[in-house]
């Protein structure tokens, strides 16, 4: 109890999540006896932290983040937006549809929900506001589309999950394709359904094959990037880590020699930003791994599993409870920390009720991604609020229909393993 108490108190007084986990871990090891200066403690914690990061698969994460940062610097967002607008901008609510479709296309470049929210918060939200949308609705559309990024490959959260749980990252990438597409299409259907009631504006442009072709030619090099990554991984040609390194080389080549808007003087800033992002994530991974050892030593995962299964042996009800736990924790904690701490706890329960490891992975990733747009801690909401000046309460007023829709999609994939695993099975995973 003291471990949980200290963790909650640390969060409430504003400690960074990594430090809060460290405080809880410290208390947990002290509770085992021997004191802080005991040699076992001094050896155990650093060795657990090192072991957590000593993984070849983990290298994929900084490389993917670096590739995304380089592509963002080259102005790739604008090219993708123009292509998406050429395809769907002529519909009622054209910019709202453009926002959602661009989120799907941009996902293959960034793989990050907050990166998508920040990029479109600075570009599309002001454009939508100038064209007659309320700012709260524009932010809601952006938040709803932002979670496509960490669902569609390359997803940093999937790399983290696969590395920690020993699940095929390529298989997880394959499992994320269909949910990302479904989220995009159903959210666009919801925009179209409510377009007349909300009096969404029509754009002046018309569907023109010449305009689409011109926009496609401008965006094709960006659109090829996810194809190169996925083709190499799913074809068994390269590992996810090697694909991530190729993505960095590709992004550098495009930015320096093709678009010619990336200078060598820009690289220190890009590398520093990548290091900051990875430093935060890896610190959480390392410390949470030490906490995970303590949880295992105290048999807390087994106790939780026994408690849940004591409530019901019904597979569907247990799965529903697990999804509820993930959403609840994701609402108040950093999702990387939730994955690292709760993953080893919940995965054995999912295995016990017969979930395939890849199916379990997409359920966990979708649930945590949805929590990114859910208060009180939803990172995408805070990013959009800080970038646009819109209050979180105002965003949520227009966001809730999309939130309910995406939770329904999560439940659909959770309770339909054949659909969730269709693409992974098709590709031999």
On the question of pLDDT at 23 being above 90, the answer is no
Round to the nearest angstrom and report the end-to-end CA distance of the chain.
Answer: 41
What is the domain extent for residue 277? Answer: 2-426
Domain count, the chain: 1
Roughly what angle, to the nearest 10 degrees, separates helices 240-253 and 60-73? 20
Residues 6+ apart with CB under 8 A from 339: 157, 160, 161, 164, 364, 368
Q: Which residue has the higher pLDDT, 27 or 411?
A: 411
Q: How many CA atoms lie within 13 A of 414 on its CB side?
A: 24
DSSP 82-103: HHHHHHHTTSBTHHHHHHHHHH
Mean pLDDT on 97-111: 76
Over the stretch 252-274, which tens digit does the pLDDT of each residue have? 888 888 888 888 888 888 888 88
- Cα radius of gyration rounded to whole Å, the chain: 22
Over the stretch 390-419, which tens digit does the pLDDT of each residue have? 887 888 888 889 999 999 999 999 999 899
Q: How many angstroms separate the CA atoms of 154 and 101, rounded?
A: 17
DSSP state of 202: B
From residue 348, alpha-carbon distances to 288, 352, 361, 427 in Å are: 18, 6, 12, 26
Q: Which residue has the higher pLDDT, 39 or 87?
A: 87
Predicted pLDDT of residue 203:
65
Q: How many angstroms separate the CA atoms of 152 and 70, rounded?
A: 19
Spatial contact of 408 and 144, defined as CB atoms under 8 Å apart: no
| Max avg pLDDT among 21-35, 204-218, 329-343, 359-373 | 359-373
Q: Which residue has the higher pLDDT, 282 or 188?
A: 188
Predicted pLDDT of residue 214:
85
Q: How many angstroms separate the CA atoms of 255 and 250, rounded?
A: 9
Task: Tell me, rounded to whole angstroms, the distance of Cα 326 from its chain centroid.
Answer: 14
Spatial contact of 154 and 111, defined as CB atoms under 8 Å apart: yes
Predicted pLDDT of residue 34:
53
DSSP state of 391: -
DSSP state of 266: G
pLDDT > 70 fraction of the chain, expressed in percent and rounded: 89
Over the stretch 310-354, which tens digit does the pLDDT of each residue have? 777 788 888 888 888 888 877 766 677 778 777 777 777 887 788
């Amino acid at each position: 109890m003291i471990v949980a108490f200290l963790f909650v108190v640390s969060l409430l007084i504003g400690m960074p999540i990594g430090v809060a986990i460290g405080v809880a871990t410290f208390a947990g090891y002290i509770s085992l006896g021997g004191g802080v200066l005991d040699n076992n403690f001094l050896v155990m914690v650093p060795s657990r932290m090192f072991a957590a990061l000593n993984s070849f698969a983990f290298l994929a994460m900084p490389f993917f983040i670096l590739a995304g940062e380089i592509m963002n610097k080259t102005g790739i967002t604008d090219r993708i937006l123009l292509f998406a607008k050429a395809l769907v901008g002529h519909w009622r609510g054209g910019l709202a549809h453009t926002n959602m479709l661009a989120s799907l296309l941009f996902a293959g470049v960034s793989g990050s929900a907050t990166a998508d929210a920040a990029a479109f918060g600075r570009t599309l939200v002001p454009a939508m506001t100038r064209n007659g949308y309320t700012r709260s609705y524009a932010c809601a559309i952006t938040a709803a589309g932002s979670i496509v990024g960490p669902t569609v490959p390359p997803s940093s959260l999937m790399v983290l999950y696969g590395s920690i749980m020993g699940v095929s990252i390529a298989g997880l990438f394959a499992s994320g394709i269909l949910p990302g597409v479904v989220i995009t299409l159903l959210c666009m259907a919801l925009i179209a359904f409510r377009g007349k009631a909300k009096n969404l504006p029509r754009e002046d442009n018309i569907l023109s094959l010449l305009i689409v072709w011109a926009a496609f030619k401008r965006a094709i090099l960006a659109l090829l990037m996810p194809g190169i990554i996925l083709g190499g991984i799913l074809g068994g040609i390269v590992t996810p880590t090697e694909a991530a390194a190729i993505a960095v080389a590709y992004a550098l080549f495009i930015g320096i020699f093709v678009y010619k808007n990336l200078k060598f003087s820009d690289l220190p800033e890009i590398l520093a930003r990548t290091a900051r992002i990875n430093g935060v994530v890896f610190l959480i991974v390392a410390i949470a791994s030490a906490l995970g050892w303590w949880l295992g030593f105290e048999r807390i995962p087994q106790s939780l599993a026994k408690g849940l299964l004591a409530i019901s042996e019904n597979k569907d009800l247990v799965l529903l409870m697990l999804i509820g736990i993930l959403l609840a924790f994701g609402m108040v904690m950093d999702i990387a920390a939730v994955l690292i701490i709760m993953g080893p706890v919940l995965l054995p329960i999912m295995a016990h009720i017969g979930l395939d490891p890849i199916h379990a992975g997409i359920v966990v990733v979708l649930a945590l991604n949805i929590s990114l747009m859910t208060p009180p801690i939803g990172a995408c909401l805070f990013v959009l609020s800080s970038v646009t000046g819109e209050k979180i309460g105002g965003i949520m007023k227009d966001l809730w229909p999309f939130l309910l829709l995406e939770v329904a999609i999560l439940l659909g994939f959770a309770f339909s393993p054949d659909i969730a695993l269709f693409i992974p099975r098709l590709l031999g995973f």
